[in-house]
Structure 1
Amino acid sequence: MAEQRRSDRGGAAQHVLVVFPGYHRSWAAWIAQMLERHGYRATQQRWDPPREVPLEDSLGDLLLSTGQVLLVLNDWFFELGPRPAGEWNDVLRGFVAHHADRFAAVNLTNRPLLPATAVLEPASLWALSEDAAEERLLSRLGLDRAPRPRTLPNPVRYPDMRCDIWGEVPRRNPRFTGRDDLLTDIHQRLSDAERGASACTLLGMSGIGKTQLAAEYAHRFSTDYDLVWWVNSDDRNIQRDRFGELAVELGLSIGNEPGERIRAVREALRRGEPYTNWLVIFDGWDDSEGINTLLPQGPGHVLVTSRNRAWTEHTDVLEVPAFLRAESTGYLMRRAPHITEAEADEVAAEFGDVPLPLVQAASWLGESGMEVPEYLRMVRERRLSTVDEPATGEGFPQSSMTSWSILLNRLRRSQPQAIDVLGLCTSFAPGRIPLGLIRAYPQTDLPEELRWMATDLPAWTRALDTLVNYSVLTRETRGPLGAEMGPHQESVHMHRLVHDIVSKLTGEENRAVHRRAVRTLLAEADPGNPVDSRNWPRYAELLPHLEPSGALSSGQPRVQATVLNCLQYCLRSGEYNSGLELAQKIRASWSQMMEPLDRPLLELTAHESYIMRTSGRFREAHELDRRLLERLQAASQRNEMAELSMQSAVAGDLRFLGRYEEAYALQQKVLEGSERLLGPDEVTTLVDRHNLAVGLRLLGRYAAAYELDLETLTRRENVLRARHISTLHSGTAVAHDLRLLGRYRDALARQEPLVRIHVQVLGPLHPQTLAARVQLALCRRREGGHGEAVGAIMADLLDQLARLHGREHYRTLSFIANYGNYLREHGDLSQARDLIDEAEAGYRALLGPAHPVATGMLSNTALVMQVAGDRADALAMSEAALAGLTSTLTADHPWVLGCALNTAAARNFNGRIAEAVELSRETLRRARHTLGHEHPLTLSCQVALAADLRAVHEQEEAGKLEDDALLTLTRTLGAQHPHTISARQRVRPYWDFEAYLG
């Protein structure tokens, strides 16, 4: 019977899926071997289900296998993820209990497990002999012992049996997190290497987790080895002594002389006598001297941890990266259960996912119970050291500061020029450092003690090589991006942790000299034109180094110009958050050393208010601009250009605040002043002309806006270039005007190639490119020939806008409203309602309920209500929108006309026919006057009036209006356009309110 169960390939008991966390790899290997010895098939599956996947789904995936699923448990197993409190108990009581016949478990700990684990009836293998564990395993699975168990090649040792020689391997870290793929990679590299050359170096900076990784490897794969020997290699003498001590363990008859012992140990390991399966780990072997006399060869494996890149010449090298973000957050949440995933993510980002500082952060948060915002505030204010000794019990070195101090002292003695380079690096920001600047601009006025860096290439190369070999820096290679990019081919990377440590250990003696040199170099490297997108990569390089170099507090005009150019780069490239933060820092510094009306502060305010407006902080921007304009106008000495600049800024603020007439009048005055002082083709004048067209568009004067935008586009093409960012912006403005004028095909024909150029010049996710892509989607929707493809495009665009700006940003809200209108039109009423409600609430919060855009959104809400059958509420909402817009705009404004069209329909649907006829007739009259007889909105008003007239039996007039509208729609939009088809089918027309702030 048992033989039949073992050989019956169709039976469920034939196969067992052994599911284990990577931590218990050795137990899983032993369990699988035991099952195979008795004639059963076993598959091992390492398991660490993603936190974002429901636990029930992950467990359900395991049931896709045949046979039983054996979970290898201890208390750590239930911390995988980690998961919210109670999730495991709920799933065990529900899903697992429902499939109890498929799940089984073994328990490797004597610590209590979750109460609901009882459903698994785990068989405890804790502290059992191998035979007893084997018996209990088979019994739990309901499997019979084979009369004569098979002998397998390369048998796996029972995990509770330590290998014959286990030499001072650090205690296993009970909180070791992740790194499963990295450990598997190490094992594969060592196993696949040629005999006698199986050595791998774990390379990385201090604190990255090399020692922990090596220790975990030794424990996790201990069953593969008969000898594991750990050699601390920070000090050469200690290293030699420790390696030589292996001679005693191997029973070699040899004296006490270290050299003789080392030679004997290496020979024994080479021959594989008495052990062929050996592992020797050299931890912290940074000094590459002695490799030829110490590094063993033979049938076993060697693992080295080092910061010295010279190991690439001697062994296989594996770069140890920072934690994956999921590993970082998982560790933090297990160690400090009170913090959320979002908070753990913020802490992990703060420390760059580097294990050592994360251990310190997790220890602090876990022991103190401090909330994350307070902890990060302390860290950032330097009240809490991030590089002190780590918490004990984690298995990390006692002091990373000590190891760095030793290294720096060694460099001071042997390579003092490397210390000079290191000190210079700490006056840059951590991360990528464009050190090539110092040699790219040899004419720079460097301090005497640093001039060798620009003139002595051999010394420069030696210093850099030394720092790179010790993993203080890593050399980055970046090919030339063309002459416009500037000399940034030579750069290095310095991790934030290393930067902090080195800054503390190198002191302040030469800091002022180094900082002055760095900010001088930054000014030399400034391309001088942040408007040109071809210079943005260079500004991106310079930006992080402004603050650490002291550039923000410099009184040198050239450095101040560089600071302002970097700020303008932020606003031009769409880095608004970074720009606002930088502007605030600049203001805090410059306000102490300048008068409010000094030119640099005036330029700062112009850039800062622009970023505020673009970020949706309209009232703050207006207050900032208004105060400065008042100061300029009250000054004893007039600065007319500065006044014009601030008036233009105030006009922009007023547009966003919905004060369109005031904004237009002020912007018109600004343009007249710019043309008088600068001429019609100056860049500033072109900006002012573009902004005046924006004002016209907001006033509903679409034809005038189109003519002005077309003129600006032509001038920009001549003055700038066709692919300049400002020229592209004008191109989108022209397409926008054409669409609002109802010239949908013309708008689409212009916008399609324009978007392609945007993507080529600025990239697909630049804010201006996204705005151009939004305009293209709206053109396609209005043109009517793209069907369901438009919906997919709009859904994708909404995701991208939300990721870039957030869902509460005015640009995202505008598109949410547009997408909601599209979905309502195409039958997805539920999602349409959600989106329209979100946009309406968002605009009300951002702008206030009286703003024209917030008022106009009520019309969109009314349309959703009407389609849903809430006709009375829809009428009330439409009437409120119409009254509100009429009071803030003119009765002839297209927004008011569209709202009136919808209100007339609502009156008709509610039986108020005479009122509907009256409103429809008046709306058509105004639309013809404002937009012309052939505009789609005018024709919709004409079709609507015909419908209302039919309702009061005015058939003759209704027929004439309808026939005329159909002929004009067919001629202007085409017979198959949705507007034409709807009119032909006598579907009541409506008009979406398109939320637009400028």
Structure 2
Amino acid sequence: MRAGRALAVVIEVALVFATGLVINAASEHLPSWLGDPWLVWPVLVALLAFTIGFTLWIGSSPSSEPGSRVWNVPGANPNFTGRYQDLANLAKLLRSRSRVAVHAVRGMGGVGKTQLVLEFCHRHHKKYDVVWWVAAENPTLVPDQLRALGRALQVDLPQDAGEAVRVLLSHPLSSSRWLLVFDNAESAADLNPFLPSGAGQVLITTRRAGFDAVGGVLDLDTMSRRESVALLARRAPKLGARADELAELLGDLPLGLEQAAAYLTQSAMRPDEYLHLLRTSPDSLADKGEDAHRRSPDRSLRTLWDLSLSRLDEHHPEAARLLATCAYLAPDAIPLDLFTPTREATALSHQVGVLVDHSLVKRDDDHIVAHRLVQLAVRGHTDTENAPTSADALTDAVNVLRYGVPAEVFKNPAVWPRCRQLLPHVLAVAVHEDRLHELAPDTLAWLLDRAGAFLRETGLPNQARPLLERALRIVEVACGPEHPILAGYLNSLAMLLKDLDSLDAARSLLERAVRIDEAAYGPDHPAVTIRLNNLAMVARDRGTRPVPLPAGTRPGRRRGELRARPPCRRTQLEQPRRGAARTWARPDRPNS
């Protein structure tokens, strides 16, 4: 192809000069301006420059057919969208070395590493005489694929596979215009024996760290929102303006976008119905739809990470449990200090390193982030053989939050940044309220109460109300309507209702709290004083005096005498704090 373009350029130059000679020879028969050499020759040279440039551009533009002499690359993805900067960065990396340029594209599963390199190969195939694709996830199968390359190059190879590879790698591969792709490699050390010498180029796709030892690394992130919306517009046009909403729920992960678009097309489901399912029960959609341009094991979110997660279960069980815990938190920054009460610092750093190595989380200084679709896959993987149980993971999640969420929220702005940081994680575990009623109702109720208190303190009472109502309902179901622990939750909700001017409802809750506390502790207990003081403030706001409680509801008691608390239904769980006795937390604050 290169020789053909050179011949075309020579012919064009010859034609231009021949035209100039003809014009000179016949100048007396032509218009006067054509007889002026100072005018004609600049025009001809400009025409020559244009035709040469056009020829070279046509020769270098991508086409649908590979121009390489030896080629086994899978077909291009017709739905490939965007990634212009990543393609440019990849081309720049490969131009950065004169000898063998070995570079890796690294990223989490489903982020589009293979699709990016496929697109690069198809766009730049005319630059190479040899482009060969090797599936590298299993190193034992690499030699046979390289032997196939040798046969395509008509290299005489010995029968022994190992010796054949050595002979092939010492072969100059006909020229410097070759590109080898090792797709989905697991280990730089395992791949290193198969890297050739010479002046060609090698591309590697991987989820793993460590490939900077053999060359440059391009870290591939999720798509930009504009690219995500463009892909959905092409694949599922009926989404319309809701494409942005779907992209947000899927975290802009290319596999998730392709799978969602495929399922919408296959099922003819309405976009609003699909979005509702994705919000309320995302786990049920993990195996719905497939990306047909991927290999069978990686076509859906349900199976994409199975191999990585199984290896984690077998070789790094503590890291697997840490990841399972994170799967029940929010897809936001997770502070690493949440885990320090139950994990030694060095061990925690090692476990996080394992997860980063497998591209299952990202670490940024003192926090980690797990993509929402990785979380979905991990939740689906729990309870399988050797994997952490979902019960343990969910219990761990609420317990680390019980340690990390500040208890003293009322009029304590110093802790509000911490509350704001952990609020998304509290809301994330609260999604699993039905399961936590059996596993950790006390901890969930306390977390919801503290989240509601924070929202109330920061001027968001309407957002706080449903959380405090849920906390109260959980305690009533778990302990019964007269348990002493209930009084603190009644008090929290009552004071919020006071802020919202629902004074009658606030009064009713506080009167109930007074009766419960007096029955448990007697009329002189500080808790009773708190409730009566709050009841007086509600009465003041209503413009009335506090109404005395009915006779017989405030039993007499000697000062300091306590009745035994009635039993509260709950299960035996791990301690939220190491060495601490397990008790129901009381959210008692004077005005909270």
Give the TM-score normalised by structure 2: 0.71
Partner of 1:882: none
> Is the CA contact (8 Å cut-off) linking 1:527 and 1:535 kept in structure 2?
yes
CA distance in 2 between partners of 1:36 and 1:595 (Å): 95
Output the amino acid matched with 2:474. Answer: S
Give the alignment partner of residue 233 of structure 1, picking from 136, 150, 163. 136
Does residue 476 of structure 1 match 2:476? no
Does residue 537 of structure 1 match 2:407? no
Output the amino acid matched with 1:196. Answer: R
Partner of 2:121: 218
Partner of 2:198: 298
Give the alignment partner of residue 488 of structure 2, picking from 599, 616, 619. 599
Please state whether the residue corresponding to 1:385 is helix, strand or coil. helix
> Is the CA contact (8 Å cut-off) linking 2:283 and 2:376 kept in structure 1?
no
Partner of 1:434: 335
Deviation sequence 1:410-466 (CA, Å, 0-9, x none):
333333333333333334334433343332x25xxxxxxxxxx33xx6654443322
Partner of 1:707: none
Give the alignment partner of residue 454 of structure 2, picking from 569, 576, 579. 569
Alpha-carbon spacing, 1:581–1:346, altered in 2? closer, same or farther (3 Å): farther
Partner of 1:288: 188
Give the alignment partner of residue 290 of structure 2, picking from 376, 391, 412. 391
Give the alignment partner of residue 249 of structure 2, picking from 343, 350, 359. 350
Does residue 172 of structure 1 match 2:76? yes
CA distance in 2 between partners of 1:189 and 1:228 (Å): 17
CA distance in 2 between partners of 1:332 and 1:468 (Å): 29
Aligned-pair distance for 1:640? 6.8
Please state whether the residue corresponding to 2:110 is helix, strand or coil. coil
Partner of 1:334: 234
Aligned-pair distance for 1:188? 1.4
Partner of 2:324: 423
> Is the CA contact (8 Å cut-off) linking 2:77 and 2:119 kept in structure 1?
yes
RMSD: 4.0
CA distance in 1 between partners of 2:167 and 2:459 (Å): 66
Partner of 1:719: none
CA distance in 2 between partners of 1:374 and 1:161 (Å): 41
Aligned-pair distance for 1:641? 4.4
CA distance in 2 between partners of 1:466 and 1:158 (Å): 40
Does residue 524 of structure 1 match 2:403? yes
Aligned-pair distance for 1:215? 0.9
- Superposed, which structure 2 residues align to 1:44-443 within 5 Å? 156=60, 159=63, 162-191=66-95, 193-268=96-171, 271=172, 273-341=173-241, 343-382=242-281, 385-388=284-287, 390-395=289-294, 397-439=298-340, 441=341
CA distance in 2 between partners of 1:634 and 1:586 (Å): 16
CA distance in 1 between partners of 2:256 and 2:491 (Å): 42
Deviation sequence 1:874-904 (CA, Å, 0-9, x none):
xxxxxxxxxxxxxxxxxxxxxxxxxxxxxxx
CA distance in 1 between partners of 2:539 and 2:178 (Å): 76
Alpha-carbon spacing, 1:585–1:251, altered in 2? closer, same or farther (3 Å): farther
Aligned-pair distance for 1:289? 3.1
Deviation sequence 1:552-579 (CA, Å, 0-9, x none):
6576767644432222323444667864
Partner of 2:555: none
> Is the CA contact (8 Å cut-off) linking 1:201 and 1:317 kept in structure 2?
yes
> Is the CA contact (8 Å cut-off) linking 1:515 and 1:548 kept in structure 2?
no
Unaligned residue ranges in structure 2 (runs of 5+) = 14-45, 519-527, 547-592
CA distance in 1 between partners of 2:131 and 2:535 (Å): 74
Deviation sequence 1:850-897 (CA, Å, 0-9, x none):
xxxxxxxxxxxxxxxxxxxxxxxxxxxxxxxxxxxxxxxxxxxxxxxx
Deviation sequence 1:256-315 (CA, Å, 0-9, x none):
4332232233223xx4x4121222111111233323202234322222111101223322
Output the amino acid matched with 1:570. Answer: L
Stretch moving more, 596-605 or 253-262: 596-605
Aligned-pair distance for 1:368? 3.5
- Superposed, which structure 2 residues align to 1:739-750 within 5 Å? none
Alpha-carbon spacing, 1:573–1:556, altered in 2? closer, same or farther (3 Å): same
CA distance in 1 between partners of 2:125 and 2:497 (Å): 61
Give the alignment partner of residue 629 of structure 1, picking from 485, 504, 507. 507
CA distance in 2 between partners of 1:303 and 1:367 (Å): 35
Aligned-pair distance for 1:504? 1.2
Please state whether the residue corresponding to 1:408 is helix, strand or coil. helix
Alpha-carbon spacing, 1:574–1:303, altered in 2? closer, same or farther (3 Å): farther
CA distance in 2 between partners of 1:274 and 1:174 (Å): 31
Greater radius of gyration (CA):
1
Aligned-pair distance for 1:344? 0.9
CA distance in 2 between partners of 1:37 and 1:629 (Å): 97
Partner of 2:554: none
Please state whether the residue corresponding to 2:305 is helix, strand or coil. helix
Please state whether the residue corresponding to 1:540 is helix, strand or coil. helix
CA distance in 1 between partners of 2:267 and 2:465 (Å): 34
Aligned-pair distance for 1:646? 6.6
Aligned-pair distance for 1:323? 1.2
Please state whether the residue corresponding to 2:131 is helix, strand or coil. strand
Aligned-pair distance for 1:607? 3.8
Output the amino acid matched with 1:595. Answer: P
CA distance in 2 between partners of 1:249 and 1:167 (Å): 9
* Count of matched residue positions in the alignment of Structure 1 and Structure 2: 484
> Is the CA contact (8 Å cut-off) linking 2:209 and 2:358 kept in structure 1?
yes
Please state whether the residue corresponding to 1:492 is helix, strand or coil. strand
Aligned-pair distance for 1:211? 1.2
Output the amino acid matched with 1:175. Answer: N
Please state whether the residue corresponding to 1:229 is helix, strand or coil. strand
Please state whether the residue corresponding to 1:546 is helix, strand or coil. helix
Output the amino acid matched with 2:136. Answer: S
> Is the CA contact (8 Å cut-off) linking 1:336 and 1:362 kept in structure 2?
yes
> Is the CA contact (8 Å cut-off) linking 2:137 and 2:184 kept in structure 1?
yes
Output the amino acid matched with 2:188. Answer: S
Please state whether the residue corresponding to 1:254 is helix, strand or coil. coil
Please state whether the residue corresponding to 2:203 is helix, strand or coil. strand
Output the amino acid matched with 2:316. Answer: Q
Partner of 1:982: none
Partner of 2:474: 589
Partner of 2:565: none
CA distance in 2 between partners of 1:147 and 1:329 (Å): 38
Please state whether the residue corresponding to 1:164 is helix, strand or coil. coil
CA distance in 1 between partners of 2:288 and 2:169 (Å): 36
Unaligned residue ranges in structure 1 (runs of 5+) = 1-29, 40-142, 443-452, 478-488, 611-620, 652-662, 671-998
Q: Which structure would you say has the larger RCO, counting Cα contacts within 8 Å and 6 or more residues apart?
A: 2
CA distance in 2 between partners of 1:541 and 1:147 (Å): 60
Alpha-carbon spacing, 1:431–1:633, altered in 2? closer, same or farther (3 Å): closer
Output the amino acid matched with 1:211. Answer: T
Give the TM-score normalised by structure 1: 0.44
CA distance in 2 between partners of 1:239 and 1:577 (Å): 61
Give the alignment partner of residue 492 of structure 1, picking from 360, 368, 393. 368
Partner of 2:392: 513
